[in-house]
């Protein structure tokens, strides 16, 4: 019984102490300002206007500036010697191949002999005509006989001219047994086979004239209107190597099928570009002002690009933007944004609409109740 009285008295004391503490607590608690740790701390940036090169992207093949087909001008002769191979650099007039010329030399000797006979025949006819004229003055020869001597002399003179022409033709044929390079360049292909009997006009070699190659991308009408002769181009080869070229010519017409035109871009002769490659590249059209932001400030969501703006109270709001050119780690913003707008520089992917943030280097504004 005494134990129960002691427990009851202890409970009463604890209850009185709790009531006293409750009476000491004020009716209302003061508003506690959120700590800086309750909001994400971010860095902000503004739009930065820079003069950026305006470019046009395109793709197209790399081809020879001009190709030269080397063919024999005479036929029926065997290829006796091949002096160059594919890839060889050649100079104008250099001997590329030789045809067997034994038969042509024999023909030339025959023609020269015929020429010599024609000269002798002309001398004899001229001498006869001279004597006939002397005798004719004395009346010993009729006018008809004199005319025959004149005709014989003219016929012999014509035969001499014909023989001279035959000799000239044969000498030309002999010279044509040496296949010469028509211009400087390098050998891009060879179809000549040693020992083969060639026909006049059949292709033996193909040269890239002046060793010049060019990139030929296709552009639509809108892009074509921006391209000018002399503009620079950066061409990316299949291996990743970059080559700088220059616009040589702009196609004057557009294809009726594709609605696009070819732009001719000259490339350095000592570059790694090779005819037959397919390359991509950009043509620099000039400089144009660009409002830019760091790449980290762009947040991709649902197929669109967004930026987060921070207002004076430290709250963020998202804004969809259209992006344009890129250069390094900066992106061109095409959507109009006020210059004084503060944009979250990075970490936007962790923000939601109207989220409270702390701007680095500034005291956070008091949160709105």
* pLDDT tens string 287-331: 888 888 898 888 998 888 998 988 888 888 888 889 888 888 889
Number of C-beta neighbours around residue 156 at 10 A: 20
> Cα–Cα distances in Å, from 228 out to 91, 186, 245, 254, 360?
33, 30, 13, 16, 48
Q: Residues near 282 by Cβ (< 8 Å), separated by ≥ 6?
A: 55, 56, 57, 58, 233, 234
Weakest-pLDDT range from 77-81, 114-118, 149-153: 149-153
Which pLDDT band holds residue 366 (cuts at 50, 70, 90)? very low
Cβ neighbourhood burial of 60 (10 Å; 0-12, 13-18, 19+): buried
In order of start, what are the domains of the chain with their CATH numbers?
Answer: 38-51+289-359 (2.40.420.20), 57-66+209-288 (2.40.30.170), 68-97+177-207 (2.40.50.100), 101-176 (1.10.287.470)
Tens digits of per-residue pLDDT, 272-286?
999 999 999 999 988
Most confident of 39-48, 141-150, 210-219: 210-219
Determine the Cα angle at 74 with ends 77 and 211, to 5°: 105
Q: What is the CA radius of gyration of the chain?
A: 48
What integer pLDDT is reported at residue 190 of this predicted model? Answer: 95
299-301 vs 304-310, strand pairing mode:
antiparallel
The average pLDDT across 226-242 equals 92
The average pLDDT across 38-55 equals 81
- Averaged pLDDT score across all residues of the chain: 84
> Cα–Cα distances in Å, from 86 out to 11, 62, 98, 205, 256?
111, 18, 17, 9, 37
The average pLDDT across 98-123 equals 93
Tens digits of per-residue pLDDT, 258-275?
899 999 999 998 889 999
What integer pLDDT is reported at residue 35 of this predicted model? Answer: 41
40-42 vs 357-359, strand pairing mode:
parallel
Weakest-pLDDT range from 114-118, 136-140, 364-368: 364-368
């Amino acid at each position: 019984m005494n134990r129960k009285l002691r427990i009851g008295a202890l409970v009463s004391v604890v209850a009185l102490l709790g009531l006293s503490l409750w009476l000491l607590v004020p009716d209302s608690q003061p508003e506690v300002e959120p700590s800086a740790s309750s909001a994400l701390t971010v860095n902000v940036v503004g739009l930065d206007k820079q003069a950026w090169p305006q470019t046009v992207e395109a793709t197209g093949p790399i081809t020879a500036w001009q190709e030269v087909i080397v063919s024999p001008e005479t036929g029926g002769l065997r290829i006796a010697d091949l002096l160059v191979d594919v890839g060889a650099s050649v100079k104008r007039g250099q001997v590329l191949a030789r045809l067997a010329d034994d038969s042509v030399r024999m023909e030339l000797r025959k023609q020269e002999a015929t020429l010599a006979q024609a000269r002798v025949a002309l001398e004899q006819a001229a001498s006869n005509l001279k004597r006939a004229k002397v005798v004719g003055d004395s009346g010993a020869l009729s006018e008809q006989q004199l005319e025959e001597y004149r005709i014989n002399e003219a016929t012999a003179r014509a035969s001499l001219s014909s023989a001279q022409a035959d000799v000239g033709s044969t000498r030309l044929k002999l010279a044509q047994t040496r296949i010469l390079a028509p211009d400087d360049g390098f050998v891009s292909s060879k179809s000549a086979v040693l020992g083969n009997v060639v026909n006049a006009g059949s292709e033996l070699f193909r040269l890239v004239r002046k060793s010049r190659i060019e990139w030929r991308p296709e552009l639509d009408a809108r892009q074509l209107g921006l391209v000018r002769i002399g503009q620079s181009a950066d061409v990316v080869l299949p291996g990743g190597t970059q080559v700088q070229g220059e616009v040589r010519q702009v196609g004057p017409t557009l294809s009726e099928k594709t609605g696009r035109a070819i732009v001719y871009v000259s490339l350095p002769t000592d570059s790694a570009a090779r005819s037959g490659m397919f390359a991509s590249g950009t043509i620099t059209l000039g400089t144009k002002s660009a409002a830019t932001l760091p790449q980290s400030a762009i947040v991709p969501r649902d197929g669109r690009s967004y930026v987060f703006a921070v207002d004076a109270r430290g709250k963020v709001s998202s804004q969809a933007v259209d992006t344009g050119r890129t250069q390094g780690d900066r992106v061109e913003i095409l959507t109009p944004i006020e210059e004084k707008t503060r944009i979250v520089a990075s970490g936007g992917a962790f923000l939601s609409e109207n989220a409270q943030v702390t701007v680095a280097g500034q005291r956070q504004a008091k949160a709105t109740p």
